[in-house]
């Protein structure tokens, strides 16, 4: 039985390792490597892809390992649409704009429908049946290994075209969807969050991470925050036109307010709370870079993202006894079921939950004492 080390793709940042359960000594040594992480769903470890770590793995496993190459998934080629498909795409774009879909959704639907139109460019799209559409989705899964999330985007885009642009009946294009994976969100501990948000020396970068966490914001909501949205007199932050084009309020931390005041004195933004060097909104990519640098400096979960701070905000509120309905409002969830997922990731331990075995044994000892 040997260890499998997966050769990363070019520019891959992590080395993945599958360790047999019996190799306890080797596992203990892997746990000592800086930046290591265990992927529960895949049942393998990963460490940063460096020359030093490769040498370390060879030293730990000696002749007990094999190296396997990770199969590269082919990229979907760029498509050039014919005149007929371009006309259909123009109709799609017009309908999306008229229905006030977000720029993000418009971009995704256009991309997926571009591939769809190209695949069936020699066929009358109005004559396609459900089976042919599902065979197209299977082709994307089989050849390009698209994720469940992307499968749903493809299906939503196709349904939008047939139902909203072509006014076809909804029932006929009730396309088979993938079974939703019941994955739990990544969450950082209180200590990890504290170290991560305090990692930046730059006050603007620190203020951005503080705001993401303490308000439970999505990155898109953060970049759209205006100075006037910080309602210090009322003790809340106003979030305008969030997901689903809904306004909401979230709690304003007194500590965040101190950080924001310090940031404001130094940077003096004019309209947006966080602005770029030449004015205008701060970019989402810049926020990603700020988070990644802080994550690397603190050694936090390497698979976490800025959105992990939002998950952590909700989970920590729940652990602190906050009402689920209040958390739902602050996060802007339309359904309480979306918020309830955080009940599955709260930190459960013997300090917070009385184990029934402890109760039974304690009661048994007490009863025996009474009998004596």
Active site residues: 218, 243, 307, 310, 333, 342
* CB contact set of 318 (below 8 Å; sequence gap of 6+): 324, 327, 342, 343, 346
Distances (CA, A) of 87 to 92, 95, 114: 9, 13, 11
CA angle 134/136/141 to nearest 5° reads: 95
Rounded-to-integer distance, Cα 21 and Cα 16, Å? 16
105: exposed, middle or buried (Cβ count in 10 Å: 0-12, 13-18, 19+): middle
* CB contact set of 239 (below 8 Å; sequence gap of 6+): 215, 217, 221, 224, 225, 229, 247, 248, 249, 250, 332
Name which of 305, 296, 290 is nearest 201 in CA terms: 290
45: exposed, middle or buried (Cβ count in 10 Å: 0-12, 13-18, 19+): buried
List, as one string, the DSSP characters of 163-203: IIIS---TGGG----PPPP-PPPP---HHHHHHHHT--SSH
Q: What does the buried/exposed string (b/e) look like for 230-259 if buried means 16 or more CB atoms within 10 Å of the residue's CB?
A: beeeeebbbbeebbeeeebbbbbbeebbeb
Name which of 302, 334, 329 is nearest 317 in CA terms: 329
Run of H or E including 250: strand 248-251
Q: What are phi and psi of 229, to 5 degrees?
A: -80, -15
Name which of 292, 299, 298, 297 is nearest 47 in CA terms: 299
Token reading at 217 = 């914001």
Any idea what DSSP says for residue 303? Answer: T
């Amino acid at each position: 039985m040997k260890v499998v080390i997966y050769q990363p793709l070019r520019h891959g940042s992590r080395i993945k390792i599958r360790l047999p359960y019996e190799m306890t000594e080797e596992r203990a040594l892997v746990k000592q490597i800086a930046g290591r992480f265990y992927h529960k769903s895949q049942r393998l470890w990963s460490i940063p892809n460096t020359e030093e770590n490769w040498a370390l793995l060879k030293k730990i496993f000696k002749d007990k390992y094999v190296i396997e190459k990770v199969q590269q998934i082919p990229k979907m080629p760029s498509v050039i649409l014919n005149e007929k498909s371009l006309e259909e795409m123009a109709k799609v774009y017009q309908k999306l704009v008229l229905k006030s879909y977000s720029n993000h959704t418009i971009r995704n639907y256009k991309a997926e429908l571009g591939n769809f139109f190209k695949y069936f460019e020699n066929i009358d799209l109005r004559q396609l049946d459900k089976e042919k559409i599902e065979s197209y989705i299977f082709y994307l899964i089989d050849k390009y290994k698209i994720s469940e999330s992307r499968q749903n985007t493809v299906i939503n885009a196709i349904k939008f075209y047939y139902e909203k642009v072509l006014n076809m009946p909804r029932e006929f294009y009730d396309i088979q969807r993938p079974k939703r994976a019941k994955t739990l969100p990544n969450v950082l501990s209180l200590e990890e969050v504290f170290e991560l948000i305090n990692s930046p020396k730059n006050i603007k970068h620190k203020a951005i991470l503080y705001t993401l966490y303490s308000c439970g914001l999505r990155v898109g909501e953060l970049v759209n925050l205006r100075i006037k949205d910080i309602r210090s007199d009322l003790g809340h932050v106003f979030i305008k036109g969030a997901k689903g084009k809904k306004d909401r309020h979230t709690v304003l931390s007194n500590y965040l307010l101190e950080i924001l005041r310090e940031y404001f004195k130094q940077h003096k933004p004019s309209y947006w709370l966080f602005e770029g060097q030449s004015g205008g909104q701060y970019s989402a990519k810049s926020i990603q870079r700020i988070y990644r640098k802080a994550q690397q400096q603190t050694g936090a979960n390497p698979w976490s993202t800025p959105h992990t701070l939002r998950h952590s905000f909700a989970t920590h509120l729940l652990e602190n006894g906050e009402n689920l309905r209040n958390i739902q409002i602050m996060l802007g969830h339309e359904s309480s079921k979306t918020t309830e997922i955080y009940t599955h990731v709260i930190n459960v331990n013997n300090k917070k939950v009385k184990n029934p075995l402890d109760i039974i044994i304690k009661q048994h000892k007490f009863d025996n004492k009474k009998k004596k």
